[in-house]
Amino acid sequence: MSEVKRVTDPTQGPPDGVEADVQCVVTVFDRTREKGKNKIKMSIKSLAVSPCHVTCAYSNGVIGFSLRDCDMMFSVRIDELYGILREAAEAARELN
């Protein structure tokens, strides 16, 4: 597991912010329109491991993922991510 650090520079995040440098998998999709239909079919075009910077703070309620190789960031609300993780854990427990 990567080292999680507290953000100490107020210009880099809120006082309760934490951050970590991790590896993530970047998935690129290929979109094709189905013939005669108004549907888009998505298939995986490529997968690659990429360095990622993760930040989180309860005060702003989000966790952010910055992809360093492609200058991209996305954020997810902490409560929504928690709900997804909780349900995945429950599904895993039911399998055992």
84: helix, coil or strand?
A: helix
Q: What is the dihedral of CA 66, 72, 75, 76, to 10 degrees?
A: -100
- Mean of the per-residue pLDDT values for the chain? 91
Rounded to whole angstroms, the Cα distance separating 40 from 34 reads 6
3-state secondary structure of 92: helix
Q: Which structural domain, as residue segments, surrounds residue 87?
A: 5-95
Q: Model's pTM, two decimal places?
A: 0.76
Give the chain's domain count. 1
Q: What is the 3-state secondary structure (H, E, C) of 9-39?
A: CCCCCCCCCEEEEEEEEEEEEEEEECCCCCC
Contact call for residues 57 and 65 (beta carbons, < 8 A): no
Over residues 13-58, the pLDDT tens digits come to 899 999 999 999 999 999 887 777 778 888 999 999 999 999 999 9
pLDDT at 31: 86
